[in-house]
Chain A
Amino acid sequence: MSKVMSMKQAIAKHVNDGDFLFIGGYICRTPFAAIHEIIRQQKKDLTVTRSNAADDFDMMIGAGVVKRFVATFLSLGFYGLGRCYRRSLEQGIPHRIEVEEYTNLSLPMMLMAGSMGMPFIPVKDMAGSDLLNVKSFMGDNKYKIIDSPFDGAKTVLVPALNPDLAIVHVQQADEDGNAQIWGIGGDCQVGANAAKKVIVTCERIVSREVIGKDPSRTIVPDFKVVAVVEEPFCAHPGYTPGFYDFDFAFGNLYKNASSTVEGFQAFLDEWVYGVTGRAKYIEHYIQKMGYGAFRNLQAKFDYGYPVSYAY
């Protein structure tokens, strides 16, 4: 049975209120269309995680779908602090989310441990910092410090994470879910493989034969995947290598809009609630910004260097 379905179907079927979600991306290949669909379907009480969260997590927090955040970082990068994140933690708008804080070393290691069925993993960071002095919903299970059974050295242990669901955006996948990426990885591969099931969104669906032309690029095998969604331009305003560039102007637009509660609400009304899905979003983008702006984001094509697996 083909796993291909629409974004609306995939989110409705596989994202439950209260779920723990890993959402991949590092500005590179952010599954933004899935984020918008989660907001449109008004999912509730989600726990979300990723190393280096950005505008997409800020938007989910502002829209009220997040209860808990296993975090390392959240900012709009070049555009400054996450406005919705600040409002949530400083003023409780729309509500105060619970944050468990790790780092861009420890969180990927926790996901890696989860992906390999390990119960916990030692890490060499966080020692001596106040990150050890703040605990939230994970309580005493945030970390443990032991004397290493091998050499007696003080060692920080962090628990493995196994999210209920991972959502990752990739360049191409086949109908069964073999998913291939190229470019900056972030914690996408460990996050996807740590999860109990995976939604793959992709720029294009290709045949199993095409996947086999360069199988080293596959980061998730089909047996972990429950849904495949073909969603071109899915990562906008982030980028997908080989497909489209980062949209600097749109970053500014979001920064300005999210600076006030009213502006943020108007942004959601226009770009999330006001469209039925990514196709309509693209239509709206072209109407508003002009076809030239849309065209300018498209990557120049580069055939690259052919790979041979011959023997």
Chain B
Amino acid sequence: MSEHAADYCKPELMACCGAREIKDHNLVLVGTGFPTMSANIARYTHAPHARLMQESGVYDAQPLRPALSVGDPCLNPGAAMIGGLVEIMGMFLQAGWVDIGFLSGSQVDKFGNINTTVIGDYAQPKSRLPGSGGANPIGSLAKKILIIALHDTRRLTERVDFITTPGYIDGPGARERWGLPPDTGPEVIITNKAVMRFDKATGEAYLESYHPDTSVEEVVKLTPWKLNVADDVHETEPPRVEEIRALREILDPNRMIRIYEGRGYV
């Protein structure tokens, strides 16, 4: 039984939830923020041979500060390989080498479809978002997708306004019908309230664990679809001492991760 940290912030807990999904020797395609933190926590605890890559072209970077973007200068010196998008997205991702992809979105639905394109009508957008970038290919082609989202009835939705990145699309069998590679797709949605895991039989996310300061009832209330609850639903395991030590002593000594508290991850 591991000892748990007494004091932590919500983004740190979420980063630890992500880390626990990563196995040793996994190849992880990351963005910035949580994903990088998660993958690195895993490397410093149970998965020392996990390796990270960024779509911009970097494999196994050795940054001396937390990267603020996938093009960050600190990703260059010390990396094992630097190429470009064709190498990472083509030779590694499309060719089927990537085990884990991390994504986040402005809207996420119960099938794990993600919208980063537009809120409202596409032709007359209420809010125009950045677009796919690497999200669509990562969600289509990585073996296991971890989704990070804010838990409220605006970000989580029964159906996204626009499927930028396919989850299970409209239910079981849809990925296969579209010719996406077998045994790929969303694994969990990690929010600031809970961990929701996907039932591969229905393609829907169900409640696996609720974070220490919340409850099944609260999570169900904050989820806009009829959320199934696991028989063995339980409280999320708080950050372990060794996970927090990796974060605060090595990866993020200035606790830059706290900027996510300002973005609502509380």
Contacts and interface: CB of A to CB of B under 8 A. Distances in A.
Q: Are chains A and B native binding partners rather than an unrelated pairing?
A: yes
Interface string B21-34: 00000000000100
A218 interface: no
Interface string A185-197: 1111110000000
Given A109-B90, A124-B141, A245-B73, A72 B133 contact: yes
B84 A130 contact: no
A90 B134 contact: no
Interface in B151-182: 162-166, 169, 174-175, 177-181
A71 B56 CA distance: 16
Interface size class of A (residues with CB under 8 A): 35 or more
Interface of B: 32, 55-58, 68-69, 71-73, 75-77, 82-87, 89-90, 93-94, 117, 122, 125-137, 140-141, 162-166, 169, 174-175, 177-181
A291 interface: no
A105 B98 CA distance: 14
Given A105-B85, A186-B84, A127 B134 contact: no
Nearest to B123: A134
Which of A127, A239, A246 has the most C-beta atoms of chain B within 10 angstroms of its own C-beta?
Answer: A127
A98 to B, nearest CB: 11
Nearest to A189: B84
A104 B71 contact: no
A184 B132 contact: no
A249 interface: no
11 contacts: A51-B85, A81-B130, A90-B126, A104-B134, A109-B86, A128-B140, A130-B162, A131-B132, A154-B179, A184-B75, A248-B68
A187 B87 CA distance: 10
Contacts of A126: 136, 140
A130 B164 contact: yes
Contacts of B89: 104-105, 108
Given A77-B69, A129-B163, A130-B117, A185 B134 contact: no
A57 to B, nearest CB: 11
A244 to B, nearest CB: 9
B101 to A, nearest CB: 12
A128 B114 CA distance: 12
Contacts of A190: 84-86
A44 interface: no
A118 interface: no
Query: Which 9 A-B pairs give the minimum distances between C-beta atoms?
Result: A185-B84, A73-B133, A105-B137, A27-B71, A128-B178, A75-B130, A125-B137, A104-B134, A154-B179
Contacts of B166: 127-129
A185 B70 CA distance: 12
Nearest to A112: B86
Contacts of B177: 128
Contact of A186 (B73, B76, B85, B90): B85
Contacts of B57: 26, 184-186
Given A106-B137, A108-B89, A73 B56 contact: no
Interface in A60-112: 71-75, 77-78, 81-82, 85-86, 89-90, 101-106, 108-109, 112
A106 B69 CA distance: 21
Contacts of A27: 69, 71-72
Given A130-B164, A187-B85, 17 more contacts: A52-B56, A85-B128, A103-B136, A104-B55, A104-B137, A105-B134, A105-B136, A125-B141, A127-B166, A130-B122, A155-B179, A184-B82, A185-B83, A187-B84, A189-B86, A241-B76, A245-B73
A104 B174 CA distance: 23
A154 B93 contact: no
Contacts of A26: 56-57, 71, 84
B137 A134 contact: no
Contact of A103 (B68, B134, B180): B134
A44 to B, nearest CB: 23
B117 A28 contact: no
A189 B83 CA distance: 10
A183 interface: yes
A126 B77 CA distance: 33
B86 A124 contact: no
A1 interface: no
B71 A184 contact: yes
Nearest to B133: A73
Nearest to A125: B137
Given A52-B133, A129-B164, A186-B56, A124 B140 contact: yes
Contact of A101 (B75, B77, B131, B137): B131
Contacts of B58: 184
A105 B130 contact: no
Nearest to A26: B71
